[in-house]
A = this chain, B = another copy of it.
Amino acid sequence: MTCLLKMRAMRDQMSVNERKLADFIMENTKLLRDYSSQQLADAVGVSQSSVVKFSQKLGYKGYPSLKLAVYESYAGALNQSAPEEGYTHLSQADTPISQLGQKKLEVLENTVSINEPEQLQAAVAAIRSARCIQVSACSGSAAVAQYLTYQLLELGAWAVFDQGGALQKSMAESLQGEDLLCIICDMGGEESLVDIANNARERGVKVLSLTRYNYNAASIHADVSLYVMPAEEEQAMQRLLFRSAQLHVIESLIGGLLIADQ
């Protein structure tokens, strides 16, 4: 900041050309970034040597030093004047797309804060100790469920994604005491899922649920319940963000497995 301030302070006691230079620099600070001494001289209408002398008079070794100082001064001012405008940025510009980043961050934070670390830990433990894992989802969460299945398989867990339909029930019925059933669900109300969950649980199968954060059948009947905090957005965007949060929880699980594995 010092540099630009200094200029303003000295403005009164400057010669004509010096003042022209100072004014130009203060007006067009960011232009300076890619001006050579000659260009600046031309722009202001003075000689190149005057530019250099001006720099030295202000106490810098030469023009490049002045340039840097001005630049720092300018950058510093920016930092201060835009102090807490909020979040670290998941966005560069302010395009509609980048605003999505903000929303996402918000949803993710909310989601993290509603899940008890113990539940996460328990979920990780359940996965680790399971023999076979069935991943079942409502249609809206199928993509997410399949993603989870992939990751589990990669880590050596014997996970199967339940495509729904006729197989769903028969698969679930083959689960045994040491196995795990993962229910991933938007609302947590889908009947067929709640059914197989209850059924499985009666036979000692552990049930892990990942649902929207509210009272819902699926999470109530699960041994371990994880939640997602939905955003307040219009339909389509909300779905997108919801999945994003689901994925984040899943990533946390996978991360937990990796850490525990070591």
Contacts and interface: CB of A to CB of B under 8 A. Distances in A.
A107 B87 CA distance: 16
- Copy count, this protein chain: 2
Contacts of A124: 97
Contacts of A91: 112
Interface of A: 33, 68, 71-72, 75, 79-80, 83-84, 87-93, 95-98, 100-101, 104-105, 108-109, 112-113, 117, 120-121, 124, 142-144, 146-147, 150-151, 236-237, 240, 243-244, 247-248, 251-252, 254-256, 258-259, 261
A165 to B, nearest CB: 17
Contact of A109 (B68, B79, B80, B88): B88
Contact of A240 (B104, B117, B254): B254
A110 to B, nearest CB: 11
Contacts of A100: 251-252, 255
13 contacts: A72-B75, A88-B109, A89-B109, A90-B112, A101-B112, A101-B252, A143-B146, A143-B150, A144-B147, A146-B147, A151-B240, A237-B255, A237-B258
Contact of A247 (B96, B101, B247, B256): B247
